[in-house]
Structure 1
Amino acid sequence: MATTWRARVHALLHETETRSPARSAVTAVLVVVIVISLSAVILETLDWLAAAIGPLFAVVEAVAVTVLSAEYLLRLWAAPEGDATGVDHPWRARRRYATSFAGIVDLVAVVPALVHVVAPVPADWFRVLRLLRVLKIARYTPALALFAAVIRNEGRPLLATLLVVAVLLVLESAVMFTLERDAQPTVFASIPHSMWWAIVTIATVGYGDIYPVTPAGKIFGGVVMVLGIAVFAVPAGILATGFASEIRKRDFVVTWQTVARVPLFAGLDASRIAEIARLLKRQIVPAHYAVVRRGEPADAMFFIMSGEVQVDVTPTPVRLGKGQYFGEIALLRDTMRTATVTTVNECQLLSLDVGDFRRLLDANPTLKAMVTRVADERLPAAMPGDASRSAPSTPRA
C-alpha cells in the first residue's frame, strides 16, 4: 500500500503523459501559493500597506512555507517512483532529486524562512531570498524551461560574445581615459572610472552623468555608440537562432514519438519514422470544427496527437482518439471525401499532404500494402448505401 500511495503522490506532482484532473488541481494550488507569496513579499515593501495589513503578510508567508515544505518532502519521498528501471536504491533516487536543479530550487524556496526563525537575517536580504521562489514557476511554465535550454545550448557562442564585449570595454575605457584625462581629470580619473562610461555607452543607455567634452573624445564616443548596437545584435541573433532551433527540435521529438506510437508505422525503423516526422505539419483545431467534409477534394490525411474526432458514418458515428488517423481512403482511391470528420474537443493534428503521402507509399511497398488493406476493410462504413456499413469498428474518411 505504501508503494501504491507513493506512486499516486508521484503522479500528482510530476508531469506524465496523461494529465489527470487531480494533478491539474495540485498544480493550480501550488502556482497560486507561489504567486500569492511572491506578491506578498513585494507588497510588504510599501510601508503604509505593511503597517495596515502586516499580520496578513505573516499569515501568507506561514501558509506558503507550510505548503511548499510539504511539497518538497512529498517529492523527496516519491522520488524513487521516477526511476523507470526500478534498479536504483530509493535513497539514491532521493539524493539524485535533492541534488538536481529542481530539487535545489524547491529547497531554496523554503529554507530561508526556516533559517530566519532560528537565526534572523536582515529583512532586506531575507526578502531577496524569499523572492527566489520565482524559480519554481519554471517547472510549470514551458517558456522558462525553453529559455534555460537555449542558454545551455548556446552557452559557447554567448560566452565568446561576452569575451569580445569585455575586451572592447577595456580598450574603449583606456582610449577614453587617454583622450579625456587632461580635460576632465576628476571624471575620467582612471581606467576603472572610465569603464562606467564605456558600459553605459556600449549598452546605448547614455545616462549622461559622464560624457566626453573634447572633440576627439566626442568622435570616439560616437564610434563606440554605433559599435554598441552591433555588439548587442550578435547575442540577439544567437538567441533568436537558438530559440528557433530548440522549438524545431522539440516539435520534431514530439512528432517522432507520435508517429512511432501509430500502429501503422510500428514496424518501421527509426530513420524511416524520422523521415515521416519531417513531412508532417502540426495543426491545432478548435472543438466542433469539421476537419474534412464528405464530398470535398482530398488533400491530406491526419494523425491525432491529442483530443478526439467524430467520423459521421451510419448507423453510429465513430470516435477516434490519440494515436489514430483518418483521411487516407480518399487519398488512396483518388476520390472525394467519403465522410465528414468533426472535432469533439480541441485537437492537435499532424497532417500529411497528398503528394508526400503518395511518395511515402511509393517508397515503402510494405507500408502501402498495409494502408491499402486497412482502407479496404473500413471503406464500407464510410460509403452510403452499403449493406455492410454497420459492421466495421473504425471507419476512415
Structure 2
Amino acid sequence: MSLLARFDFWGFPGPARDTTYRIIFQAETRSGKLFDVVLILAILSSVTVVMLDSVPYIAESYHQPLRIAEWIFTILFTMEYIARLWCVASKKKYALSFFGLIDLFAVIPTYLSVLIPGGEVLAVVRILRVLRVFRILKLVQYMGGADVLVATLKASRFKIVVFLITVMSIVVVVGSVIYLIEGPEHGFTSIPRGLYWSVVTLTTVGYGDVTPQTGLGQTLAAFLMIMGYALIAVPTGLFSAEFVQQNAAHRQGSNAPVQSCPGCGSLEVDPQAEYCRYCGQKLT
C-alpha cells in the first residue's frame, strides 16, 4: 500500500477515520457505548437548558450560566457533527439525510441568534435535539412498527373516509340546528359558531365557552355527547381489526439486527435490504 493510500482526502489516516466511524455509528464496542452514554447525557442536559431558558424568572436570574451552558453544548454538538461528516463515505448524503439535518438543526439556532437580529426566536428549534436520542438508543429499529401503522391506514383508508364524511355531515347538521334553536342571544351568532360548538361537544371536550340555554338545545347537546362516545368506537374497531392483520404479516423478520449505512450513517431495519433507502449506498 502506498503512503497516499493510507490517508483520506481530508489528510487523516484511514484507520483513524474507520475507528471514528465505528465509535460514532456502531455502538457494539466499549468505546462506542461510552460515546453514546456521554452523548445522551449531553443531549438531555442541553434540552433541559432550553426548557429552563423558556421560563421567564429562571432566564432572568440565570441568564449568564444558561448562555454559557448553551454555547458549551453547541460547540460539543458542532464538533460531533463535523466528526460524523468526516467519517462517513458520502458527506453530501449524510448531510441531507434525516438525522443529518437534525444534527445540523441542533447547532444552527445558537449561531443564528448571534448573526441575525431577532434570531433568538429560532432558539426553540434546539428542542429538536431530543430526536437524536432515537438514533443513539437504536430506537429506529422499533419504528419498523410505523410501517405497520402506515399499511393499516392505507388498507382502511376508504372506510375511514366514509366515517369522516359521516362525522362531518353530523357536525354540519347539528351545528346548523343548534344555531336555529339557540340563536345569537345565547351566543350562537352564526352557523360556523354552531359548527364549532358541535365539534367541541361531539368530541366530548366541552370548553363551555358556548352552551345551549333552551331545553331543546340541551337535549340536542346530550344526544350529541352520547353519540360522541359511540363514534370513538367505530374507527377504533376498524383500525384495530386491520392492524392485527397487518401486524401478523409484518411480524416475520421484525427481530432482525439493525444495519448502519456506511454512506450516510442511517439505520436500516429491513433485514432483506442490500442498499440504504436514503442514500443508495451498499450495506455491509
Taking CA–CA contacts closer than 8 Å with sequence separation of 6 or more, which of the two structures ends up with the larger relative contact order?
Answer: 2
1:9 paired residue number: 20
Aligned-pair distance for 1:195? 3.7
- Cα distance, 1:253–1:118 mapped onto 2, change above 3 Å: same
2:75 paired residue number: 66
1:254 paired residue number: 255
How far, CA to CA, are the matches of 2:209 and 2:117 in structure 1?
39
Aligned-pair distance for 1:154? 3.8
Q: Post-superposition, which runs of at least 4 consecutive aligned residues in structure 1 deviate over 6 A?
A: none
2:37 paired residue number: 28
1:184 paired residue number: 183
How far, CA to CA, are the matches of 1:219 and 1:232 in structure 2?
21
Task: Report the TM-score when normalising by structure 2.
Answer: 0.69
Aligned-pair distance for 1:133? 1.8
2:276 paired residue number: none
- Cα distance, 1:158–1:47 mapped onto 2, change above 3 Å: farther
Between Structure 1 and Structure 2, whose CA radius of gyration is higher? Answer: 1
How far, CA to CA, are the matches of 2:232 and 2:164 in structure 1?
13
Please tell me the root mean square deviation across aligned C-alpha atoms, in Å.
Answer: 3.5
Aligned-pair distance for 1:230? 4.1
- Structure 1 or 2: larger strand share? 1
> Does structure 2 retain, via aligned residues, the 8 Å contact 1:150–1:239?
no
- Cα distance, 1:139–1:222 mapped onto 2, change above 3 Å: farther
Amino acid in structure 2 at the alignment position of 1:117: V
1:390 paired residue number: none
Q: What does residue range 261-276 of structure 1 map to in structure 2 within 5 Å?
A: none
Amino acid in structure 2 at the alignment position of 1:99: L
SS across alignment from 2:205:
coil
Aligned-pair distance for 1:197? 2.2
The answer to whether residue 222 in structure 2 is matched with residue 222 in structure 1 is yes
SS across alignment from 1:181:
helix
Q: Paired residues, what number?
A: 242
The answer to whether residue 91 in structure 2 is matched with residue 94 in structure 1 is yes
Counterpart pick for 1:131 among 104, 127, 131: 127
- Cα distance, 1:204–1:154 mapped onto 2, change above 3 Å: same
> Does structure 2 retain, via aligned residues, the 8 Å contact 1:177–1:190?
no
> Does structure 1 retain, via aligned residues, the 8 Å contact 2:175–2:196?
no
The answer to whether residue 51 in structure 2 is matched with residue 42 in structure 1 is yes
Aligned-pair distance for 1:35? 0.8
How far, CA to CA, are the matches of 1:69 and 1:198 in structure 2?
50
What percent of counterpart residues are identical? Answer: 26
Aligned-pair distance for 1:171? 2.6
Task: Report the TM-score when normalising by structure 1.
Answer: 0.52
Aligned-pair distance for 1:104? 1.7
Instruction: Give unmatched runs, 5+ long, in structure 2.
Output: 1-5, 7-12, 259-284
- Structure 1 or 2: larger helix share? 2
